[in-house]
Amino acid sequence: MMTVTGTQPRGSNVLTERLEIRLDPTTMRLLREEARRRGISMGQLLRQAIDWFLHEERQARLKAPGALFPVEAPAPDWEVMKREIETARLQDAPR
């Protein structure tokens, strides 16, 4: 079960939103231990984890197009490319 309540103006750093989630005992114990190890509250630990997740997700989305199409070859002039495309198309055309 997850519940979100409250309102917060866009761009505001005032913590007015509330989130309730259900966790299994092992996860809860691990979160408590990690918060204690870092010397911060569980709320702060979870806010940091959420901030990290959202930042990393955004960075991955921004990098994705470049990863899909890495071109490391020199690109010829458009007119040269156009002639090469037309020549290849004519060679592949049915006769």
Per-residue confidence (pLDDT) for residue 12, from 0 to 100: 60
The pair of three-digit structure tokens given for residue 3, joined into one six-digit string: 């519940």
**Digit-coded pLDDT (tens) for 29-86:** 999 999 999 999 999 999 999 999 989 888 877 777 777 777 677 777 888 888 988 9
pTM metric for this prediction: 0.51
Q: How far is CA 63 from the centre of its chain?
A: 9
Per-residue confidence (pLDDT) for residue 1, from 0 to 100: 47
Question: What total number of domains does the chain contain?
Answer: 1
Residue 24 lies in a domain: yes
Residue 82 lies in a domain: no
Domain extent, residue 51, equals 2-69
Alpha-carbon torsion 26, 30, 36, 39, what sign?
Answer: negative
The pair of three-digit structure tokens given for residue 1, joined into one six-digit string: 């079960």
Find the radius of gyration of the CA atoms of the chain.
26
